[in-house]
Structure 1
Amino acid sequence: MKVTVEIPEQLVRQAKALSALRGVPLRQLVSEALEARVTARNFDQAVGEASPPWMTGFGGLSHLHEENMRIDKLIEEEFGQIEKAS
């Protein structure tokens, strides 16, 4: 389906650059981004949470925090203390 939307010029330039870097058409990049956002929003609504706008760029993988902690603990048990980045 063809749709016409207004997108800020700077965002379009960034999207074109990213699509060129990835070697995919702009329409594919936009479709993937839209699908990811709609899917994430549907998930958030299903669990009763609203995604804040900043979550798109920061904290998007926060649902993996417990798994990361579990893996860190296993590594620490096997190899010793993990040095935290400062």
Structure 2
Amino acid sequence: MGAGPAGLMPARLLRLAPPNCSTPAPAPVCAASRQAERFSHDMTALLHRAPGATAIDDRLRLARPDRIAATRSAAAGLAEGCTGSPLE
């Protein structure tokens, strides 16, 4: 299974339930687990240069904190991911 752009995991893999949700579990538990995994992936992509990243990948990654600081929706998304707010 190969990595996606900039060496990151393909988005389709992020939508899969983690192994602990393969057994019967309440839907909110699985959703919260997936949300935590997405947040972890996003923070890793934000803070670390991906192997094989191109110059444009680096510029996009470095521009993201500016977007988070400049737009309320991006800041809210980061805060919700960090605090584990329920998905709506």
Same fold (TM over 0.5): no
The higher radius of gyration belongs to 1
